[in-house]
Amino acid sequence: ETGVTQTPRHLVMGMTNKKSLKCEQHLGHNAMYWYKQSAKKPLELMFVYNFKEQTENNSVPSRFSPECPNSSHLFLHLHTLQPEDSALYLCASSQNTGLDEKLFFGSGTQLSVL
Amino acid sequence: QQQVKQSPQSLIVQKGGISIINCAYENTAFDYFPWYQQFPGKGPALLIAIRPDVSEKKEGRFTISFNKSAKQFSLHIMDSQPGDSATYFCAASTDYKLSFGAGTTVTVRA
């Protein structure tokens, strides 16, 4: 099984709901990432954390709120989402944030916003 | 704007054939070019990567060809197998922030 575990695998929520996505990595990595994957589009980097500190926020709307309590866990808190936010949300980790770091992805959470 | 353009969007190849996926970029500062493979229901996984000081890199049946002057790179899958059926993403970066292509879905027919 992958070293990066994401829960839940599927999530359906209304626009007024609040939910959270969880990611856990068992690889001893120092960096964690959130990516958004929409059909037929490139993966979009959302947030990067390195040693629990946020190092990248790629102009993500405030209705997405990340949290990284330690180097092994990463959350994405969701509130008042829009239908266009429906996508596969992927968590990834890497040893560090160097140029040629290998990313290890989880299987993602398929989010549907109604 | 899309920093890495990938083509084709999908392709079908017979078992034993060659699959070729092409990517082009504009940012000459890009210094690392990986390819990721994604199976349905799974996250992407690193397949092979190249730095611009090398024109070709081969790992098993997978080969990256890199043309720095043309700002293009491609993935060749030799002797394609049904197990190679997946979506392939090229990417490029100057640091840890990868810019991905839109993906190519490869279907290998037995």
pLDDT digits (tens, 9 = 90+) for A78-106: 999 999 999 999 999 999 998 889 999 99
Cα–Cα nearest to A49, from A26, A72, A27: A72
Nearest to B43 among A41, A101, A107 (CB): A107
Chain B residues close to A98, C-beta within 8 Å? 95-96
Q: Using one digit for the tens of pLDDT, what is the confidence trace for B7-56?
A: 999 999 999 999 999 999 999 999 999 999 999 999 999 999 999 999 99
Cα–Cα nearest to B41, from A72, A6, A48: A6
Calculate mean pLDDT across residues A42-58: 93
Say whether B98 and A56 touch across the interface (CB within 8 A): no
What does the alpha-carbon distance between residue B110 and residue B108 come to, in Å, rounded to a whole number? 6
Chain B residues close to A31, C-beta within 8 Å? 96
Report the percent of chain A where pLDDT is more than 70: 98
Q: Using one digit for the tens of pLDDT, what is the confidence trace for A26-44?
A: 999 999 999 999 998 999 9
What pLDDT is recorded for position B2? Answer: 75
Q: Which residues of A69-92 are buried (b: 16+ CB within 10 A; e: fewer)?
A: eebbebbbebeebeeebbbbbbbb
Across the A:B interface, residue pairs with CB atoms under 8 Å apart total 61
What does the alpha-carbon distance between residue A102 and residue B78 come to, in Å, rounded to a whole number? 24
What pLDDT is recorded for position B1? Answer: 66
Chain B residues close to A108, C-beta within 8 Å? 43
What pLDDT is recorded for position A7? Answer: 98
Chain A residues close to B45, C-beta within 8 Å? 104-105
Contact B91, B37 (CB under 8 A): no
- Residue A68 class from Cβ within 10 Å (0-12 exposed, 13-18 middle, 19+ buried)? buried
What does the alpha-carbon distance between residue B44 and residue B68 come to, in Å, rounded to a whole number? 25
Nearest to A42 among B2, B32, B42 (CB): B2
In terms of CA atoms, which chain B residue is nearest residue A42? B102
What pLDDT is recorded for position B96? Answer: 86
Tokens 């190849």, located at residue: B13
A101 interface with B at CB cutoff 8 Å: yes
What pLDDT is recorded for position A2? Answer: 58
